[in-house]
Amino acid sequence: MSKKESLVTFTTPMLKAIANPLRRQILNTLSAMESARAADLAQVLDVPANKVSFHLRELAKAGMIAEDPELARDKRDRVWKPTADGYTTGEVEGREDDPQGVAMDAYLSQVVHDEHRRLQAAMVHGQRQYAGEESVEPKAQLMTSDLMLTDDEKRELILRFSKVIPAFREDLKNGKVQSSQAAEEREVWHVMTLINAESLLNQSHEADQSPQNPM
């Protein structure tokens, strides 16, 4: 298998492939595991293996995953790996095969739904943690920063962020990250980097404000 690409721009076939919620979950889990068989993913996700196999083939057709024969035990053994470390929506004018943005709009709507569920779950968890209602190890961490940036500086920041996870992944594989827990105790963690202009928040506030009736 060829080397994974660091950051890939979504193609329309990719967007259509991950329109399925379970398929997105399978891709996310495979990306976290780095390589897995259908049976491995089925066990983690508690989904029938034949169902996972079907969705893996669909992801492969879209070029988002590929088989890695080097990890297979024999010719019948199918081990899958993601073809990229991460994805980006890319530039608007670069989507010639989806000029109306239908596929991208559908995908972003699903992302809004997925991330809203994650954010809500994380915030509720945090409230319970700080209120003393939950004593387990925190399952979420919120970090925010604010910067004054030009468009070029923003692009450079995104580029640097795109290199952090792949570098950390390599350190994990090479045993450079110390942990008192065994590798078997690992679970999937979702990391989302959202960079947005504060003006978007102001615009949304303006849109939410309905005209007041005159006295």
Angstrom distance (rounded) from CA 202 to CA 204: 5
72 SS3 class = coil
pLDDT at 102: 86
* 67 φ/ψ sector (left φ>0, alpha ψ -120 to 50, else beta): beta
pLDDT at 136: 77
Write down the pTM of the prediction. 0.75
pLDDT above 90 covers a percentage of the chain that reads: 49
Q: What is the largest CA-CA distance in the chain?
A: 79
Question: pLDDT digits over 85-94, tens only?
Answer: 888 887 777 6
pLDDT above 70 covers a percentage of the chain that reads: 92
In one-letter notation, the amino acid at residue 61 is K
From the list 107, 115, 116, 122, the residue with the least C-alpha distance to 62 is: 107
In DSSP notation, 94-160 reads G-TT-TT-HHHHHHHHHHHHHHHHHHHHHHHHHHHHHTTS--SPPS-----------HHHHHHHHHH
pLDDT bucket at 181, cuts 50 / 70 / 90: very high
Question: pLDDT digits over 103-140, tens only?
Answer: 889 888 998 999 999 999 999 998 998 888 877 788 88
Contact 107, 10 (CB under 8 A): yes
